[in-house]
Each structure stands twice: as C-alpha cells, then as structure tokens.
C-alpha cells in the first residue's frame, strides 16, 4: 500500500512512514521564490538537494547534532523521525546578504561583527514575518528554554558547516534552519541545501545557491552540482 501523503510543500512532499515514529520526505524538482510568485521545475534538483542534505545531516549527527535524518530510501526520498515542527524559521548570518542587506541598507558581503540569529514565523500567508523572542514566547510558539536550545544548536551547526564549506572553498554566507520536537527532544528538521543557504565561491564570489534562480543568473543546477561535487571531495564523513 502506498504511504499516505500528509503534506505538500513548495519543494518537498511529506508522506506517512510505516510506523508512527517516522515520515518520508520526498525532495521534488519544483523551485519557488518570492513566496511562490516565481515557479519552475528544475529537472534533477530533487536528487541533488536530497544528496546534499543527507551528506550534511550525517556530518552533523557525527558531530553531536541531533537531526531527524534516519536514512535515504532512494535518490529523492529520505526516511526521517516524525517531529512536531516548531513554527519558526531560524536564520543564521555570517555576512550581510538578501533581506538583511535590503532591510538595513548594507551592501551584500559586508562582514558582521558577530553572527546574526533571526527568527521568522513560518507562515506563507503572512510572508514569514520576523519575530523577536518575547513575541515567540508570548504566542506559545516555543518556550524560552526551547529558544535557548535552538540558538545554541544553530550556532554549533554554523561552526560545523562553516568549517566544512571552508574546506570546499565555499563561504557559508547565511542559511535557514527548522527544528522539531521528537520524544520531547529538539532536533534539526527539514533540509540544508542550496535552496536554504547562500554559498559563495571563495575565490570568485560566484553564487552557488538559489539566488541563481531568484535573480535569473542562469545555470542553477550546475551550481547545485558543483556544491555536491565539492562536498564529496571534502569527504566530511
Ligand atoms: N531562506 C529560506 N527560506 C525562507 C527564507 C530564507 O531557506 O523562507 C534562506 C535563504 O535561502 C538564505 C537565508 O535563509 O540563505 C536568508 O534569507 P533572507 O532572509 O536573506 O531572505 P531572502 O533574501 O531569501 O528573501
């Protein structure tokens, strides 16, 4: 019997697992930007993002970060622990870019004196508005203790990923994380891929991420393939 489709997101579908503790994430070829305003099918993106996410999640697990990753079932389907998603996106920034540059009027690539952490409400209807910690706790989206755990994990993940991508001659500019609760523990969920990170080539500054799609820079999949090639070469495991 086919597994029940639980949820269709913009680039992934979630199916029920064979038991109550797991689910199956299917990475699709759909790409969207501008909160769904721009859409395309990029043939092969699902396979690339699934493999990149699985390499990064294995690396993070090996280095003490609990994630929802269990194993790959095939090229696009990941078996994951079933989690209750915490309804905030955690954004980590090492350099100014994207909405940060726009909002605060600083050129992309401006160095930051400290790592920036931001929280946004996960809501397509409201356009993922930024939230501060007192707003998050006031609405019961997460407790202060859960926020501290997510911040601590986000900073540890940033240190681990920055070091790995540095070995790939890639600057990890910024990225988005999602967390969920599994057996009352907070675990890293969702994906980490060029769809959710900004990657710049260290030597040339070339963008190797979804900004190629958002900004019509061309050869989106070539850039994703290059990230995967360098990750495999760096042998993180
Ligand atoms: N990001 C994401 N999903 C979102 C919003 C942001 O994966 O819904 C990622 C984005 O790819 C980038 C980082 O989070 O790596 C920071 O994004 P930013 O706030 O600059 O927003 P954007 O410029 O993408 O609108």
Q: Tell me the pLDDT tens digit for each residue of 63-82.
A: 999 999 999 999 999 999 99
Distance (Å, rounded) from C-alpha 32 to C-alpha 34?
7
Overall residue count recorded for the chain in this entry:
237
Which of ligand 1's atoms lies nearest the C-alpha of 196? 7
Is the model's pTM score more than 0.95?
Answer: yes
Which of ligand 1's atoms lies nearest the C-alpha of 97? 20
Which of ligand 1's atoms lies nearest the C-alpha of 34? 25
What's the 195 CA to ligand 1 centre distance in angstroms?
9
Per the structure block, which two tokens stand in for 179? 């967390």
Looking from the CA of 1 toward its CB, the CA atoms found within 13 Å total 7
Give the mean pLDDT of 142-158.
98
Distance (Å, rounded) from C-alpha 117 to C-alpha 164?
20
Per the structure block, which two tokens stand in for 153? 């994990």
Looking from the CA of 72 toward its CB, the CA atoms found within 13 Å total 18
Distance (Å, rounded) from C-alpha 225 to C-alpha 222?
5
Domains defined along the chain, listed by start: 5-81 (3.30.200.20), 84-219 (3.30.470.20)
pLDDT of residue 36: 84
Report the SS3 class of residue 3. Answer: coil
Asked if 62 contacts 54 with a C-beta cutoff of 8 angstroms, the reply is no
Report the SS3 class of residue 72. Answer: strand
pLDDT band for 1, please (50, 70, 90 cuts): low
What's the 233 CA to ligand 1 centre distance in angstroms?
27
Pocket of ligand 1 (CB under 6 A): 89, 91, 97-100, 128, 174-176, 196-198, 210
pLDDT of residue 237: 65
Report the SS3 class of residue 228. Answer: helix
What's the 36 CA to ligand 1 centre distance in angstroms?
13
What's the 91 CA to ligand 1 centre distance in angstroms?
7
pLDDT of residue 74: 98
Question: Which of 36, 129, 176, 194 to probe ligand 1 with, by most ligand atoms within 8 A of CB?
Answer: 176
């Amino acid at each position: 019997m086919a597994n029940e489709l639980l949820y269709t997101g913009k680039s992934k579908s979630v199916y029920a697992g064979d038991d109550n503790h797991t689910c199956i994430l299917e990475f699709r070829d759909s790409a969207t930007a501008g909160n769904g305003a721009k859409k395309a099918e990029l043939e092969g993106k699902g396979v690339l993002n699934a493999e990149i996410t699985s390499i990064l999640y294995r690396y993070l697990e090996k280095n003490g970060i609990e994630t929802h990753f269990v194993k790959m079932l095939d090229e696009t389907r990941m078996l994951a622990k079933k989690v209750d998603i915490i309804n905030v996106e955690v954004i980590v920034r090492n350099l100014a870019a994207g909405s940060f540059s726009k909002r605060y009027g600083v050129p992309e690539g401006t160095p930051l004196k400290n790592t920036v952490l931001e929280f946004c409400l996960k809501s397509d209807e409201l356009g993922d508005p930024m939230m501060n910690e007192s707003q998050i706790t006031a609405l019961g989206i997460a407790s202060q203790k859960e926020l501290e755990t997510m911040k601590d994990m986000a900073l540890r993940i940033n240190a681990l990923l920055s070091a790995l991508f540095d070995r790939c001659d890639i600057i990890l500019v910024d990225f988005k994380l999602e967390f969920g609760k599994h057996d009352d523990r907070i675990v890293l969920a969702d994906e980490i891929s060029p769809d959710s990170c900004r990657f710049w080539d260290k030597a040339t500054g070339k963008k190797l991420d979804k900004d190629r799609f958002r900004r019509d820079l061309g050869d989106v999949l070539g850039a994703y393939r290059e990230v995967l090639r360098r990750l495999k070469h760096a042998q993180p495991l």
